[in-house]
Amino acid sequence: MDRIINNTDVLNKLVAELKDKSKKIVFTNGCFDIIHAGHVAYLNEAKQLGDILIVGINSDSSVKKLKGNSRPIVTEDDRSYIIANLKPVDFVVIFSDDTPYNLINEIKPDYLVKGSDYKNQEIAGSDIVKSYGGQVVLIDYVNGKSTTNIINNIKSAILSP
């Protein structure tokens, strides 16, 4: 089976099969615009919570809304291909909504994972996950590792003689 899921029917069938096999599903999401060591560490830690890691990736239009007209740097097709080929990741789903709320409602994961920077914010879909006894888990980011830092370093390198 393809690790990149582009169809709701395929996703629903997959999730039903996994749940029939009593697999614990972990879900996380993000833009993953320029993949870096912090992303890989985060996904490795998320995978350790369950059997199957499904990663929702913001579509290009969604990233543009969230991050501005200069983003994404890397297309959704390339981002989903890269993430799908990382060892801890089992499946990738691209979503176009502003948040993964509807996707979380479809998957109903056992664990919803976000970065620890969400401590003071409402996590989209947390109400759904908590309603059936699932867990919301915050994972610490690797300090100093971010796509924005990489972009700023590239800009500085280009602008300085």
Can you say how many angstroms the Cα of residue 152 is from the centroid of all Cα atoms in its chain? Answer: 23
The tens digit of pLDDT for each residue in 104-140 reads 999 999 999 998 877 656 899 999 999 999 999 999 8
Range of 34-38, 97-101, 149-153 with top mean pLDDT:
97-101
Q: Is 82 buried (19+), middle (13-18) or exposed (0-12) by CB count in 10 A? A: middle
User: Above 90 in pLDDT, residue 148?
Assistant: no
Quickly list H helices, the chain. 8-20, 37-47, 60-67, 76-84, 101-107, 126-131, 147-159
> Tens of pLDDT along 38-55?
899 999 999 999 999 999
Q: Could you count the other beta carbons within 10 Å of the beta carbon of residue 152?
A: 11
CATH number at residue 23: 3.40.50.620
Under a CB-based contact definition with an 8 Å cutoff, are residues 33 and 119 in contact?
Answer: no
What is the percent of the chain where pLDDT is above 90? 74
pTM: 0.90
Q: What is the pLDDT of residue 147?
A: 67
Pull the structure tokens for residue 43. 């996904």
Overall number of domains in the chain: 1
Q: What is the mean pLDDT of residues 23-36?
A: 95
Q: Give residue 81's domain range.
A: 4-159
Residue 141's pLDDT band, with cuts at 50, 70 and 90, is: confident
Name the more confident of 52 and 37. Answer: 52
